[in-house]
Structure 1
Amino acid sequence: MMHTSSVLAFPPPDAAESAEWLRKKLAYYADAWDVAEDLSRGVSEIVVIDTRSPEAYRAGHICGAVSFPHRTMTAESTASLDRSKVYVTYCDGIGCNGSTKGAWKLASHGFRVKELIGGLDFWRRDNHPLAEGDEPGSWPLAATLPGCGC
């Protein structure tokens, strides 16, 4: 009895086309490991933006992230941002589109952006450090990056 493949019902593109599409996909997203690694190394070219409400930010956010709710992003409110930086937006997780709305608004105002895959949910799942309160906080010197296995 011959079995048909569900995976191959839609054949994959050739290798070059796959490589180009995947390169583009990686240009739009960052994962928790990559962001944590950059924050732990003090990479200054990125700014992590928490697009949730000030109350959600205060309750717990990525160490070093700036609170900038997507609902408040306008041409005027973004005017003082540094256009040489890459802004990494996040919200609660895959069930929330606040990071997408924030990234869209920033990009619409001429900023380079990436979204954090899985948001704060994946950040917590990977056991990366959090800060509480109204200040961004900084990466704890004693923090080590857990292995992500990828």
Structure 2
Amino acid sequence: MITQIPQHNAVSGRPAGPVLAVPPAAPADAAAYFAAHLALHTDVADVHSALATADASPLDFVVDSRSTEAWDQGHVPGAVHLPSARIPQDAGELLDPAVPVVVYCWGPGCDGATRAALTLARLGYRVKEMLGGIEYWIREGYEVTTRQGTEQRPADPLTAPVGAADCGC
């Protein structure tokens, strides 16, 4: 059955516009979609929070899938360095298959973490992708480890709330 595209908002009577040109999904369909999304993705704030808790195991929890040069420039403290191309050979030595992992790469414009997550999933690991990658980790003002040591830059006020512990979401 094809749903008619609403020409006008049923409540206000105004033209529907591009947001409602395709009607929203049924609540059950939306709930299933968003649950699946959260099962596959996490964000930098949630990863940072998890690493700050005593029960997190950073040595086999977060995987940086970038090159050695990128890793040396800055990575999540305690992350495992496992470039995407090395996952089939090295994952078994570096990761515990019983522990879910979170992978990241450069940022939202890079599919490196998606490729790494796919490879890990095919190898039997439970995996999530950290949205925003190291770019948003740094933009949130979180500490990174570099070849020279530890570094922390001020949070970007466009991506991190100024003067607040978190965004409240």
TM-score interval w.r.t. the shorter chain?
0.7 to 0.9
Instruction: Report the Cα distance in structure 2 between the residues aligned to 1:79 and 1:131, rounded to whole angstroms.
Output: 24
User: Higher RCO, 1 or 2 (CA under 8 Å, sep at least 6)?
Assistant: 1
Aligned pairs (5 A) from 1:131-146: 131-133=145-147, 146=165
Distance 1:27 1:8 in 2: 27
Q: What's the C-alpha RMSD, in Å, of the aligned pairs?
A: 2.2
2:166 alignment partner in structure 1: 147
- Identical aligned residues as a percent: 36
CA-CA distance at 1:26 after TM superposition: 0.3
Give unmatched runs, 5+ long, in structure 2. Answer: 1-12, 151-163
- When Rg is computed on C-alpha atoms for both structures, the one with the higher figure is 2
Equivalent AA in structure 2 for residue 61 of structure 1 = H
Structure 2 residue identity aligned to 1:89: V
Structure-1 residue corresponding to 2:3: none
Query: Aligned-pair distance for 1:19?
Result: 0.9
TM-score normalised by L of structure 1 = 0.85
Instruction: Specify every segment of 5 or more residues in structure 1 that has no aligned partner in the other structure, as ranges.
Output: 138-144
* Length-normalised TM-score, structure 2: 0.76
CA distance in 2, matches of 1:24, 1:53: 29
8 Å CA contact 1:53, 1:69 repeated in 2: yes
Q: Give the equivalent residue in structure 2 for 1:6.
A: 18
Shift of 1:134: 9.2
**DSSP-derived class of the 1:79 partner:** helix
Shift of 1:4: 3.0
CA shift, 1:2, in A, is: 4.8
Tell me the equivalent position of 1:49.
Answer: 63
The equivalent position to 1:38 in structure 2, one of 42, 47, 50, is 50
Cα offsets for 1:101-127 (capped at 9, x unmatched): 111111111101000001011111111
Q: What is the deviation of 1:149?
A: 3.6
Structure 1: which 4+ aligned runs deviate by more than 6 Å? none
